[in-house]
């Protein structure tokens, strides 16, 4: 099957913009969709534009909402598209607790709209999901066959989207690939997320907020490593399968803060304040990566190096 013209939703967001980078580096044409909400920035993709022009031969972007079917039909009526990679989503758990409706609109209704388009045009659909759909685990790691057990509103909507994808495959024979990523970090990540919050607090001479006792564990992966694995899966992996994307680098939140503070030569006790734990806060996420070993064709970025690159990027931001 021809795989040259990619539609990437959420293309101006954190991970989606890095996916655009990888696709363009490999000489694919990219059509980007982004609703340009607070979490997206045109600066993330402006290096792919020609003199600031939003439509060029190799890269185009439409500022559309994926949940509106007429928008997506317009895109497909005027462009030759070989597949859809869906990064578009509301992702911040705290935001989902404060107001959940937009999570249903983007993460569920938006996916259904894209699935209908993919079905009608008979092209494969690549859904970018999260390790949070498995819920928390105290020991061991989840495999792709593990039961989904989402424990917060965000992860519940991502799990719902996954079920829609597999239902379309079963009902309409829609070709798909599902990716469940561990916790991405790196340049372009929104400041509401954990690592940028640490760095922004330091930049602004504020105390770093740390939920609970700081013992919660997350599995970290540098965003450039993550999208490279995803690209390899899209190009080479068997279809109608689910893949955990992780490099198995688990760290306690309190230790992540200490790693960042070392780069600023700051004292932990002077820089951190413990705050009330978040509602529905999962203790530990952990997924194994046995299934993707053949698709890791590079030396992974050490966490300490990735943190340095993230700090350097955020220092340049106003």
Please write down the HEC assignment for all residues of 153-218.
HHHHHHHHHHHHHHHHHHHHCCCEEEEEECEEECCCCCCCCHHHHHHHHHHCCCCEEEECCCCCEE
**Structure confidence at residue 56 (pLDDT):** 58
> Using one digit for the tens of pLDDT, what is the confidence trace for 57-102?
689 999 999 999 999 999 999 999 999 999 998 766 666 666 678 8
- pLDDT < 70 stretches in the chain: 1, 51-57, 91-99, 318
Give the residue numbers marked as catalytic: 131-132, 154
Q: What is the pLDDT of residue 87?
A: 97
Per-residue pLDDT at 282? 81
Write down all domains in the chain, each with its CATH number in brackets.
Answer: 5-187+221-247+284-301 (3.40.50.720)
- pTM, rounded to two decimals: 0.94
Query: What are residue 5's DSSP bridge partners?
Result: 29
**Residue 98: predicted pLDDT:** 66
Give the per-residue pLDDT at 54. Answer: 54
pLDDT of residue 53: 47
- Report pLDDT for 276: 87
pLDDT digits (tens, 9 = 90+) for 4-13: 999 999 999 9
**Residues sharing a CB contact under 8 Å with residue 43, sequence separation 6 or more, in sequence order:** none
Give the pLDDT of residue 247: 97
Tell me the Cα Rg of the chain. 19
Q: What is the pLDDT of residue 90?
A: 78
């Amino acid at each position: 099957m021809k795989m040259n013209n990619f539609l990437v939703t959420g293309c101006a967001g954190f991970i989606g913009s890095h996916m655009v980078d990888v696709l363009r580096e490999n000489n694919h044409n990219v059509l980007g969709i982004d609703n340009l909400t607070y979490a997206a920035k045109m600066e993330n993709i402006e290096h792919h534009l020609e003199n600031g022009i939003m439509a060029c031969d190799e890269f185009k972007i439409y500022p559309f909402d994926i949940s509106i079917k007429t928008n997506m039909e317009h895109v497909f009526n005027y462009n030759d598209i070989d597949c859809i990679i869906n990064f578009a989503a509301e992702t911040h758990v705290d935001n989902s607790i404060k107001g959940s409706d937009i999570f249903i609109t983007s993460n569920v209704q938006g996916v259904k709209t894209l699935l209908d388009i993919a079905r009608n045009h008979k092209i494969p659909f690549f859904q970018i999901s999260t390790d949070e759909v498995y819920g928390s685990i105290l020991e061991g790691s989840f495999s792709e066959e593990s039961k989904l057990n989402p424990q917060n509103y965000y992860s519940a909507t991502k799990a719902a989207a996954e079920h829609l994808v597999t239902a379309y495959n079963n009902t309409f024979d829609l070709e798909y690939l599902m990716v469940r990523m561990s916790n991405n970090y790196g340049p372009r990540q929104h400041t509401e997320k954990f690592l940028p919050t640490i760095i922004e607090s330091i930049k602004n001479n504020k105390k770093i907020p740390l939920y609970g006792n700081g013992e919660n564990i997350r599995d970290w992966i540098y965003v450039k490593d993550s999208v490279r694995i995803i690209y390899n899966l899209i190009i080479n992996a068997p279809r109608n399968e689910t893949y955990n994307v992780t490099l198995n680098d688990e760290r306690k939140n309190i230790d992540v803060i200490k790693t960042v503070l070392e780069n600023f030569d700051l004292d932990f006790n002077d820089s951190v304040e413990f705050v009330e734990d978040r509602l529905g806060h999962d203790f530990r996420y952990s997924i194994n990566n046995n299934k993707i070993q053949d698709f890791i064709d590079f030396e992974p970025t050490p966490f300490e190096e990735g943190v340095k690159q993230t700090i350097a990027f955020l220092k340049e931001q106003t």
